[in-house]
């Protein structure tokens, strides 16, 4: 059994947990995913089944991605998302209420984050520094200097403003941390922000509309849900 599954990941399980589920469904040891989603995030996860598929991951990992996220103004989080320790009432604005009725100014701040950016990886991330994952150091109460990475934001637009929440859509290069983007926008606004929810809607040409729900996959139908390698990997 070999090919790719386009899965609509629910909130809760890790990407690795879903890989293990697919292993059990397919009885195939060689299973992996092309791009991690944090446990709280939902949306498109591409899972490769079989050695020929997993060998092609490098061609998928670097594809552009699109997300819809919701950030909360007026607070920060040590993980930069809602799973961490939240510190409220930040900034000279006294929180997010100072932005009521000022959508035009919000949009101007968002525009500053379109293009090539230097982004510092969050401590709570799987990025390795000195052979250790950053989140392992963070759980030990350690914080180290991280070198910024180059990322590209191709488009960034506000979908809805219902303060303290702002829902936005972003298309970005591989390796972009959306929770760091939300955090940095909050810093730029002067009131702080953290990412509350996140949904990945596309990877390259593949969209969430083409994905199957995780709970609909069974041993009986997983074969029919597999996409042939030549139909996923770009020539």
Catalytic residue among 38, 78, 184, 215: 38
Q: Is 209 marked active-site?
A: no
Q: How far apart are CA 65 and CA 98, in angstroms?
A: 32
Cβ neighbourhood burial of 139 (10 Å; 0-12, 13-18, 19+): exposed
Tokens of 117: 């950016």
Q: How far apart are CA 84 and CA 106, in angstroms?
A: 25
Radius of gyration (C-alpha) of the chain in whole angstroms: 19
DSSP secondary structure letter of residue 120: P
Nearest to 197 by CA among 35, 46, 83, 66: 83
- How far are the Cα atoms of 15, 69, 162, 225 from residue 40, in angstroms, in the given order? 11, 12, 21, 25
Asked if 201 contacts 44 with a C-beta cutoff of 8 angstroms, the reply is yes
Number of neighbours of residue 20 by Cβ within 10 angstroms: 12
DSSP secondary structure letter of residue 95: S
Q: How far apart are CA 78 and CA 61, in angstroms?
A: 27
Asked if 169 contacts 66 with a C-beta cutoff of 8 angstroms, the reply is yes
Return the active site residues: 38
């Amino acid at each position: 059994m070999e090919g790719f599954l386009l899965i609509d990941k629910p909130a809760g399980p890790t990407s690795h947990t879903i890989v293990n589920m697919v292993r059990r469904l397919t009885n195939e040891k060689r299973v992996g995913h092309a791009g991690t989603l944090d446990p709280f995030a939902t949306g498109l996860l591409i899972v490769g089944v079989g050695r020929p598929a997993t060998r092609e991951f490098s061609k998928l990992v670097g594809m552009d991605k699109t997300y819809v996220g919701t950030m909360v103004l007026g607070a920060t989080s040590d993980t930069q998302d809602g799973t961490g320790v939240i510190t409220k009432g930040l900034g000279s604005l006294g929180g997010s209420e100072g932005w009521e009725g000022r959508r035009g100014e919000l949009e101007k701040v968002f525009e500053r984050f379109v293009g090539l950016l230097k982004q510092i990886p969050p401590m709570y991330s799987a990025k390795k520094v000195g052979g250790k994952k950053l989140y392992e150091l963070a759980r030990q109460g350690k914080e180290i200097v991280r070198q910024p990475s180059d990322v590209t934001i191709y488009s960034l637009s506000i979908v809805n403003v219902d303060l303290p929440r702002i829902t936005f859509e972003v298309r970005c290069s591989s390796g972009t941390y959306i929770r760091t983007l939300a955090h940095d926008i909050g810093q730029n606004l002067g009131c702080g922000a953290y990412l509350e929810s996140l949904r990945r809607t596309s990877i390259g040409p593949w969209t969430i509309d083409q994905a199957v729900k995780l709970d609909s996959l069974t041993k009986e139908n997983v074969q029919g849900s597999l996409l042939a390698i030549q139909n996923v990997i770009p020539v």
